[in-house]
Structure 1
């Protein structure tokens, strides 16, 4: 028995099939199945019930999975500890960003990492908050930048900055003369809302997607990427929400957009880094937070160490 065997067992239990587990573990299905049979022969007890179109754990298998999960987490902690004692810049840094952050932070982070860790390879991954938090738990990301409102409480959260929420619209839009706006004043027929949360409490008061309310609109754009929607509103009467960081980048890039701040409570989000409780990259995260404290991106207020 070895750790790889336990990885196979845990993957089959998690995914419910040998084929899915083989793909997740990057091995052929015959190789995985053969290894599981060898393990069952070694233990003298079946781990799985194999039926037509179904794979289920036996009672013994369920107990083994619980033990295996603990052992695999322990093995990963040993790897993390080794990372901590190696040269920090020799180990790639994996950071996750949401689609509403990544386009507006790539240049900023390029400069940040070049100054702080010039010899370190950095991989930036763009995904939705819930997917990135799962990847942090699975050790395939070191940190994920998410709003505290979207944070997973089983992970550590290090506050980095706060930023306001704006209603974005084309220049010349009837609403652009407002000094501020309440969520209830946002026009339902013209409001495009992404299916995932930006991490602001105020979002609960904004108009919900309603196919009847937008029935007169020819296009349903709610499944598009955030920046595509922002390009669309440059030449229509539609509007959407943007963070302070994105608003500043749109201004710098000369986009023909106007931004009206929300005045209601809940119009600020606390953005930070989600990491594992004993993540060995915490010293790097501290340096990143200190850099942002000294040189924040436009549109945000640093909160690291506050």
Structure 2
């Protein structure tokens, strides 16, 4: 029994056709058929039910094929571990990211990441903070890019940068008469917010320091919806600076105003499980984000920066 034999079996189970499976494995159909028959003889069980019209796993074969997938996945992990010993920024990384950050930060970073680290395989999962934290704790994700703070027991947190907020106003709003907005100005605005579960909603409420007026009648599922509702004159909102830079506000019915110092902001960081074996890779990824952080954010230096 070889790993190649297991690949033949798994591929045939997926494609359910000898000719297509042979083509996918870059071997002739007789070679594929012969190797699978040899494996069945070695195991003493028929893996597939063969007819003129179809090929499908037998009940016993289905269990063995499922285990073959596990074996192949573990073999792939061995190769990844060996590669990572030479190059920490190689192999797969399962990264989670919140929806108010991913669409605006990742398109800026990923092309450079591929250029600098061609052996790194990035798999992305976008979801709300609570779901990402749960997936991180259960091992379904290796690291998550989130707005801090989060429930961090059992987790390592790496602060990356601070991202300021700006006010997004409809044309004619009284605040458009000001060059800068102060937080107390929000008492007289109808502030539109994201729906429950988005950390940005909680951060916006923290900026206000009090429940918003009127805006609670509307809760959006995305920053783009907030933007369009402001353009429609429904109310005002706060947007993080990367969302504004990534999709400049071209609508003639919208105006932007910065906050007066100290301007409100959110802190973006990486979270990973304490004791995660690929800590060197995560640290290198954090350094990469700091190095190529977009304009408009304030990079938070590594605590080890400058130490010898």
TM class, shorter-length: 0.5 to 0.7
Hey, what's the Cα distance between the residues in 2 that align with 1:129 and 1:85?
32
Match of 1:299 in 2: 296
Q: Retained in 2: the 8 A contact 1:112–1:291?
A: no
Hey, what's the Cα distance between the residues in 2 that align with 1:247 and 1:258?
11
Q: Retained in 2: the 8 A contact 1:160–1:303?
A: yes
Hey, what's the Cα distance between the residues in 2 that align with 1:284 and 1:255?
41
Secondary structure class of the residue paired with 2:158: strand
Match of 1:254 in 2: 250
Match of 2:104 in 1: 104
> Normalising to structure 1: TM-score of the pair?
0.62
Residue ranges of structure 1 left out of the alignment (5+ in a row): 1-78
Hey, what's the Cα distance between the residues in 2 that align with 1:289 and 1:181?
33
Match of 2:25 in 1: none
Q: Retained in 2: the 8 A contact 1:183–1:264?
A: no
Q: Retained in 1: the 8 A contact 2:99–2:127?
A: yes
Cα 1:228–1:214 shift into 2, 3 Å: closer
> Normalising to structure 2: TM-score of the pair?
0.61
Cα 1:258–1:207 shift into 2, 3 Å: farther
Cα 1:234–1:201 shift into 2, 3 Å: closer
Secondary structure class of the residue paired with 2:180: coil
1:192-271 equivalences under 5 Å are 192-194=192-194, 195=196, 196-198=198-200, 200=203, 203=206, 205-208=208-211, 213=214, 220-251=217-248, 254-256=250-252, 257-263=254-260, 267-271=264-268
Q: Retained in 1: the 8 A contact 2:146–2:270?
A: yes
- Structure with the greater alpha carbon radius of gyration: 2
Hey, what's the Cα distance between the residues in 2 that align with 1:262 and 1:159?
23
* 1:265 Cα deviation from its structure 2 partner: 5.2
* 1:99 Cα deviation from its structure 2 partner: 1.5
Q: Retained in 2: the 8 A contact 1:165–1:241?
A: yes
* 1:264 Cα deviation from its structure 2 partner: 6.5
Q: Retained in 2: the 8 A contact 1:247–1:259?
A: no
1:1-306 equivalences under 5 Å are 84-87=81-84, 91-187=91-187, 190-194=190-194, 195=196, 196-198=198-200, 200=203, 203=206, 205-208=208-211, 213=214, 220-251=217-248, 254-256=250-252, 257-263=254-260, 267-305=264-302
The CA deviation string for residues 116-146 of structure 1, in whole angstroms up to 9 with x for no partner, is: 3223321221111121111111111111111
Residue ranges of structure 2 left out of the alignment (5+ in a row): 1-75, 304-308
* 1:110 Cα deviation from its structure 2 partner: 1.8
* 1:255 Cα deviation from its structure 2 partner: 4.8
Secondary structure class of the residue paired with 2:149: helix
* 1:223 Cα deviation from its structure 2 partner: 4.1
Q: How many residues align?
A: 221
* 1:174 Cα deviation from its structure 2 partner: 3.0
Hey, what's the Cα distance between the residues in 1 that align with 2:231 and 2:124?
28
Hey, what's the Cα distance between the residues in 2 that align with 1:82 and 1:201?
45
